[in-house]
């Protein structure tokens, strides 16, 4: 007969052991769960939003989480809020649209910051009457020894009056305060006081390919004409009194905040005339060295000495490494990318649509000069970009690039390289660019000079200038930008409006329907498309998991607002690497402190930058 007492005792013992095991497992599971949750707590959450990931499927989600400066996860608000910890910043977007940070593929950031506090911006001004009022007001506060300066970024067609100011109007507004006004790299105006200070008179010789305009009596009108050589314009800018180092650092801070206010988180600096490396980069260098860069900046080096470009590049290549910035090591924050955009001045064409098209055939040394410098870049492993406006220029340059690629067994095509601008590039050249694995950076220059392009080359040619849709369809990497601050405004939304609508800032229709982009396509060019230019497409340009947490919350929904309202968009919250760099409206209290504008007479102190009136 079985001993039930013994059997029951064993059963009780087994049951106790089972209960202990279950409790231990549950405790361990809870403990592990808490550890996982603790590990997954994030630094920042944006919820209740329309988050455009800008991934390959153009997915839209409700919320995004940021950890260690990168996108940790995107999803529903309910799911993302589960990642909230005690120290997590949570932002309610209140239904607003979130996009990846804008990246301008061709913006003169370091030069723009260097001069920003000296310049009266006509960008966005709606009437010439108001522009002249600003000129008069600024002249009244400008001290002796300084100038009133309007240095590009505007078009006469943005004004209700649809015309340039006259020399008489400029002189009346400014009196005896020297004044210089630049329109693109096409022409400029000096008032009488400016002509006297620079000692320009009827006997002054202009550089070849330019002139000082004279009236019917042989007297100077004050108008400087690039025909199409812009050296006459560069020289006058270079003659103006500079700011102090402290003022340039201040101006750089003001300018970068201005860019952040539009949702710009990255910019690629193409160098520029009259802007020497490293001397003239001081404003940005100081911000980078002190850890105060609110924007990611990549830059290309632009040779300044005509005829000595090869030697300049040799020196730079011996002392600088691409992907770095000397002793400043910021991960994709401030770094050298390569050489551009005039590799050789003899091989440069000019985007002056008010003057006849220049042809390389008229310059006997261009081919030898360009080939020597391109070969140097390939041999040293440096990426490069080349300024080229016209299809004929690009065709000639491609002859040189193909020769170098053949001579180096394909090494040119193995490196990152691109053309800038390419307004009249043809399909035959596009095929050759693609065969060499090249890319193209397009800018909104037509938005500011399109009317003059049509006047010179005809409306038919303007329909595909540049043929951006064809570039995309052919699979050529394309980045978008402005070419601010002189040839166009730095406002990215005016450029996006042009890409989507095909219209200038004066609302003149240029592009035909087949050359218009969807809003998603245009935004892609301004995000991941531009990231390709600086070899950063794997780390930024989308809001997918693991990408840099660079994004902005917009004032309105870019994807659904009426087309014309696109150019009025701004950011209410801009984030770079998980850090807030700009805040407005409901996020105004998060706006990082910015020093007062100096000097006290700076136009920026009274008008800011881009104008909305």
Q: Residue 324's pLDDT is what? A: 80
Q: In whole angstroms, what is the distance from residue 549 CA to residue 576 CA? A: 6
Task: With beta carbons less than 8 A apart as the criterion, state whether 150 and 185 touch.
Answer: no
The percent helix, strand, coil of the chain (3-state, each to 5) is: 40, 20, 40
With beta carbons less than 8 A apart as the criterion, state whether 291 and 576 touch: no
List the one residue out of 400, 406, 344 whose CA is nearest residue 371.
400
Residue pair 133/607 in contact by the 8 Å Cβ criterion: no
pTM: 0.93
Nearest-angstrom CA–CA distance, 545 and 525? 20
Digit-coded pLDDT (tens) for 477-490? 999 999 999 999 99
From residue 196, how far is each of 167, 214, 222, 266, 419 by CA, in Å? Answer: 15, 15, 10, 41, 41
All residue ranges of the chain with pLDDT < 70 are 1-38, 326-330
Tell how strand 179-183 and strand 187-190 pair up.
antiparallel
Indicate the domain borders of the chain: 109-241+602-607
Cβ neighbour number for residue 229 with a 10 Å cutoff: 21
Tokens standing for residue 431 = 């095929």
Residue 33 has a pLDDT of: 41
What is the phi/psi pair of residue 481, to 5°?
Answer: -165, -170
Q: Supply the pLDDT for residue 34.
A: 41
pLDDT tens-digit profile of 124-151? Answer: 999 999 999 999 999 999 999 999 999 9
Q: Measured between alpha carbons, how far is residue 121 from residues 181, 295, 607, 611 in Å? A: 10, 21, 8, 8
CA 482/CA 84 separation, integer angstroms: 39
- What DSSP designation does 342 have? -
Distance CA 609, CA 254 (A): 9
**Who's near 554: CB < 8 A, 6+ residues apart?**
96, 97, 98, 99, 263, 569, 570, 571, 572
Query: Which uninterrupted H or E stretch holds 299?
Result: strand 296-301
| pLDDT computed for residue 6 by the predictor | 41
d(CA 530, CA 525): 6
């Amino acid at each position: 007969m079985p001993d039930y007492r013994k059997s029951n005792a064993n059963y009780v013992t087994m049951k106790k052991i089972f209960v202990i095991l279950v409790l231990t497992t549950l405790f361990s599971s809870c403990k592990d769960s808490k550890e996982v949750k603790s590990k997954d707590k994030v630094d920042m959450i944006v919820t209740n939003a329309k988050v455009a990931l800008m991934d390959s499927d153009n997915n839209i989600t409700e919320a995004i989480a940021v950890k260690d400066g990168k996108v940790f996860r995107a999803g529903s608000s309910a799911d993302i809020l589960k990642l909230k910890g005690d120290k997590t910043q949570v932002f309610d977007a209140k239904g607003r649209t979130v996009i990846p940070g804008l990246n301008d593929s061709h913006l003169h950031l370091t030069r723009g910051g260097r001069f920003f506090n000296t310049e009266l911006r006509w960008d966005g001004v709606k009437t010439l009457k108001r522009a002249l009022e600003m000129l008069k007001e600024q002249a009244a506060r400008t001290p002796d020894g300084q100038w009133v300066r309007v240095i590009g970024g505007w078009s006469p067609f943005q004004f209700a009056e649809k015309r340039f100011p006259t020399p008489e109007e400029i002189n009346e507004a400014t009196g005896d305060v020297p004044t210089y006004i630049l329109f693109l790299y096409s022409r400029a105006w000096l008032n009488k006081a400016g002509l006297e200070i620079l000692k320009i008179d009827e006997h002054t010789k202009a550089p070849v390919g330019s002139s000082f305009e004279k009236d019917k009596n042989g007297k100077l009108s004050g108008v400087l004409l690039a025909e199409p050589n812009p050296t006459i314009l560069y020289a006058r800018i270079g003659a103006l009194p500079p700011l102090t180092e402290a003022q340039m650092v201040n101006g750089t801070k003001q300018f970068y905040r201005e860019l952040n206010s539009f949702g710009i988180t990255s910019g690629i600096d193409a160098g520029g005339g009259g802007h020497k490396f490293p001397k003239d980069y001081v404003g940005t260098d100081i911000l980078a060295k002190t850890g105060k860069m609110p924007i990611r900046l990549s830059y290309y080096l632009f040779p300044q000495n005509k005829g000595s470009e090869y030697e300049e590049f040799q020196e730079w290549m011996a002392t600088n490494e691409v992907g770095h910035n000397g002793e400043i090591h910021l991960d994709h924050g401030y770094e050298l990318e390569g050489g551009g955009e005039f590799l050789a001045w003899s091989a440069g064409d000019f985007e002056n649509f008010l003057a006849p098209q220049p042809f390389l055939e008229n310059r006997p040394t261009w081919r030898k000069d360009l080939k020597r410098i391109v070969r140097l870049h390939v041999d040293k492993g440096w990426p490069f970009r080349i300024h080229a406006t016209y299809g004929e220029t690009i065709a000639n340059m491609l002859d040189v690039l193909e020769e170098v690629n053949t001579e180096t067994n394909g090494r040119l095509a193995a490196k990152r390289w691109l053309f800038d601008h390419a307004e009249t590039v043809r399909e035959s050249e596009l095929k050759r660019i693609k065969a060499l694995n090249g890319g193209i950076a397009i800018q909104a220059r037509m938005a500011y000079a399109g009317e003059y392009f049509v006047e010179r080359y005809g409306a038919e040619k303007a329909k595909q200038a540049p043929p951006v849709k064809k570039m995309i369809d052919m699979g050529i990497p394309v980045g978008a930008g402005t070419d601010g601050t002189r040839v166009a405004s730095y406002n990215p939304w005016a450029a996006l409006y042009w890409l989507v609508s095909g219209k200038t800032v004066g609302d003149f229709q240029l592009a035909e329907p087949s050359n218009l982009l969807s809003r998603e396509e245009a935004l892609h060019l301004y995000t991941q498309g531009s990231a390709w230019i600086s070899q950063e497409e794997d780390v930024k340009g989308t809001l997918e998991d693991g990408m840099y947490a660079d994004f902005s919350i917009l004032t309105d929904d870019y994807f659904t607002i009426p087309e014309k309202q696109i150019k009025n968009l701004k950011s209410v919250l801009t984030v770079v690497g998980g850090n807030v760099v700009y805040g407005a409206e409901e996020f105004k209290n998060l706006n990082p402190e910015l020093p007062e504008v100096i000097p006290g007479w700076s136009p920026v102190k009274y008008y800011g930058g881009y104008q909305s009136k």
